[in-house]
A and B are shown apart, each in its own frame.
Chain A
Amino acid sequence: GAGVSQSPSNKVTEKGKDVELRCDPISGHTALYWYRQRLGQGLEFLIYFQGNSAPDKSGLPSDRFSAERTGESVSTLTIQRTQQEDSAVYLCASSFRDGLQPQHFGDGTRLSIL
Chain B
Amino acid sequence: EDKVVQSPLSLVVHEGDTVTLNCSYEVTNFRSLLWYKQEKKAPTFLFMLTSSGIEKKSGRLSSILDKKELFSILNITATQTGDSAIYLCAVSSGNTPLVFGKGTRLSVIA
Contact = CB atoms under 8 A, between A and B. Distances in A.
Chain B contact residues (Cβ within 8 angstroms of A): what range?
20 to 34
A10 to B, nearest CB: 11
A102 B43 CA distance: 12
A43 B38 CA distance: 11
A102 B34 contact: yes
Contacts of A75: none
A102 B95 contact: no
A1 interface: no
Contacts, number: 57
Interface string B67-94: 0000000000000000000001010101
Chain A contact residues (Cβ within 8 angstroms of B): what range?
20 to 34
Contacts of A103: 34, 45, 98
Contacts of B101: 42
A102 B48 contact: yes
A72 interface: no
A107 B31 contact: no
Interface of A: 4, 31, 33, 35, 41-45, 48, 50, 56, 59, 91, 93, 95, 97-108
